[in-house]
Structure 1
């Protein structure tokens, strides 16, 4: 991959406001998403296995909408935004991009050690005699279970989304450099912005077309998991995150939102997500197009949170001391919460019936959070140190340089 020299940072003028670092806000989003994912799967467990059938364990429709809000699209948007931003800056304004080998190495270090260990542990406990369901193990280790109608939710149910994440990594290292090279041939910045934005819109529109054809033309039922959980239906979330990266790279420090405008945009996005969840229980328009709409609303929420002049109470909430540590362990919580929940359920430790749902939710949180924290410090963090074995160009680091000649 060819790279260009990054342009020098513009000098700060006296009295200028330094650029905000959104890392704390991002951790807050990760924490909220992880907690919401746990709540959703406990809610789903009680909805699916209630003695009266698919009866919601919560009588209040508003609370039911909050608990049943699916945040997987937030993970997709957030991941695509963070990983695409450097490509977007390089495409629009010049600069260097990380080589594909370095990018993929760091992504592998980030997700594989914990994921492979969890898959092996959970699969082994559920397949005590060999050969067991070897196809399920093979598909999970190769991230292909999202294409298996029968095994997509086996072993670690929520990790079907990791299959899409891994596929997105390869799409990004293919399309990112192509976009950078194509933009370097364009003289005007507006043309470069239009090219990148148009590509993101095309990637966002493709799943909409597929969902429309699958549902209204081919009549594929929503229970066909491969049809509606595969990349052809869910890549809109990644496209929305890529579009957000292009927008923020194009704007830079221009047109940052004042606190009233930022809060208004944040409120509208949250209200839209709430209404979407409230109205998606029937197989209508909002149910069919739930995920593309949700992805656009999550991108709007992130824009209203990050592209601001001054912090608001929403930003202070996201950076609360109780929430950012949850963001730190969010990946471990995402991996382990379902096995913990099912272990408690099978052991008869979770209360039954709608009246027991709040206690079950509390018990799962009390068990899953410590397990996730232990997983982070014992597995994730030590594995992340392996990322230091290579530099930003993907070359092995020299930890023992030759002494300088005097």
Structure 2
């Protein structure tokens, strides 16, 4: 699963909205905390999912999960990749939505891509090189695998899609989305500026997002029901043509919240009802997704819609609820801060512990293995954040808000 992450500053800026007259504002820092909490939950769920996957046994009779309770099994096997996609697209598309609907401004594409590069690449490249080198001690090793990971093209390779850093197939889609966004975003802004009515501009943006969400649905339907391609064809069902619906939904959420502004904010009771509905729907979806069933085939489009509903009900509110207070708990936002490092390192840490014989064996050892991996991966993620992510983030100061290089040593002014 992926982590589409944004810096705390970018998150706060993207989620800041003015307060309605006479109503208390939800501070941008609290909004940023909500999203950090989402990232923390998603990262922890991703770790649990991969430990659960590691301990699931497979034979001719099918899969045998490490827990007998079907409801606990549904919670552990819940996939959160679509939440990462929704959050990433929502944050990154918000400025384009404002520019298209309300004539706001956007950063130049080079500035956007530069900031995304310093956010994603330093940690990713270091992790790929370290893990690949440990698994390929003699040269040339599996050099196509290294090349594909460094160029984010492993998602298009049926054999190597899960090599080296298995969960990072989603980063291939994340990077591709960056280029799609800087290509389509300015086009949408130009098209909307020709329209005089705000409602028309909203309709154009919403229609574009709906098309991008529907296209993967059509692809999945044709692939599964017409061409009869099995779900183990990773390139077909993990590629952008099948998974871009998550990004489209996040873009649609950015359009919706921009269009609504401070109107029709949800009461705490309504917000909690939407939260409960979305979480229940996600649980049922995970519980009912037997291989090749309808819910299994359309798992990700359905999950995307439910995650989008959950985020909407969390952000577009009049007053904060117990759910918001949970998301902004210090321990959870701390996990959210290191969520990208946790996403990158948890699988190598788990496999290292497993190969060293430090994880208990068999289904009975699963709870202890889960605890051990959580602790080890969080320690590794915290060190990785402060040693790699945070210093790399300082590179953003090389350019100003307009994308121009900063002059750190200006010549003395001449009198």
- Which category describes the TM-score, using the shorter chain as reference length? over 0.9
**Could you tell me which residue of structure 2 aligns to residue 364 of structure 1?**
373
Q: Which of 361, 385, 388 is residue 397 of structure 2 equivalent to?
A: 388
TM-score of the superposed pair, with normalisation by structure 2: 0.93
Q: Which of 278, 282, 287 is residue 278 of structure 1 equivalent to?
A: 287
Task: Using the TM superposition, name which of 11-20 and 265-274 deviates more.
Answer: 11-20
Distance 1:178 1:98 in 2: 14
Answering whether residue 34 of structure 2 is matched by residue 36 of structure 1, we say no
**Could you tell me which residue of structure 2 aligns to residue 129 of structure 1?**
138
Asked if the contact 1:211–1:288 (Cα under 8 Å) also holds between the matched residues in 2, the reply is yes
Distance 2:305 2:109 in 1: 28
Matches within 5 A, 1:223-372: 223-372=232-381
State the SS of the aligned residue for 1:322.
Answer: helix
Distance 1:135 1:214 in 2: 28
Distance 2:407 2:80 in 1: 41
**Could you tell me which residue of structure 1 aligns to residue 13 of structure 2?**
none
Asked if the contact 2:20–2:262 (Cα under 8 Å) also holds between the matched residues in 1, the reply is no
**Could you tell me which residue of structure 2 aligns to residue 147 of structure 1?**
156
Distance 2:41 2:101 in 1: 32
Answering whether residue 190 of structure 2 is matched by residue 181 of structure 1, we say yes
| Shift in CA distance, 296/10, structure 1 to aligned 2, threshold 3 Å | closer
Structure 1: unaligned runs, 5 residues or longer: 1-8
State the SS of the aligned residue for 1:137.
Answer: helix
Deviations 1:297-344 (A, max 9, x none): 000000000000000000000000110000000000000000000001
**Could you tell me which residue of structure 2 aligns to residue 4 of structure 1?**
none
Count of matched residue pairs: 398
Distance 1:185 1:333 in 2: 45
| Shift in CA distance, 170/379, structure 1 to aligned 2, threshold 3 Å | same
Distance 1:205 1:13 in 2: 34
Structure 2: unaligned runs, 5 residues or longer: 1-15
Distance 1:363 1:51 in 2: 30
TM-score of the superposed pair, with normalisation by structure 1: 0.95
Distance 1:12 1:53 in 2: 53
Asked if the contact 2:216–2:245 (Cα under 8 Å) also holds between the matched residues in 1, the reply is yes
**Could you tell me which residue of structure 1 aligns to residue 230 of structure 2?**
221
Q: Which of 79, 103, 111 is residue 102 of structure 1 equivalent to?
A: 111
Deviations 1:58-108 (A, max 9, x none): 111111001000000100000000000010011000111010000000000
Asked if the contact 2:23–2:318 (Cα under 8 Å) also holds between the matched residues in 1, the reply is no
Asked if the contact 2:18–2:25 (Cα under 8 Å) also holds between the matched residues in 1, the reply is no
Asked if the contact 1:37–1:334 (Cα under 8 Å) also holds between the matched residues in 2, the reply is yes
The alpha carbon displacement at 1:17 in A equals 2.3
Q: Which of 82, 89, 93 is residue 84 of structure 1 equivalent to?
A: 93
Distance 1:13 1:290 in 2: 37
The alpha carbon displacement at 1:20 in A equals 3.3
Asked if the contact 1:51–1:353 (Cα under 8 Å) also holds between the matched residues in 2, the reply is no
Answering whether residue 177 of structure 2 is matched by residue 171 of structure 1, we say no
CA RMSD of aligned residues (A): 1.8
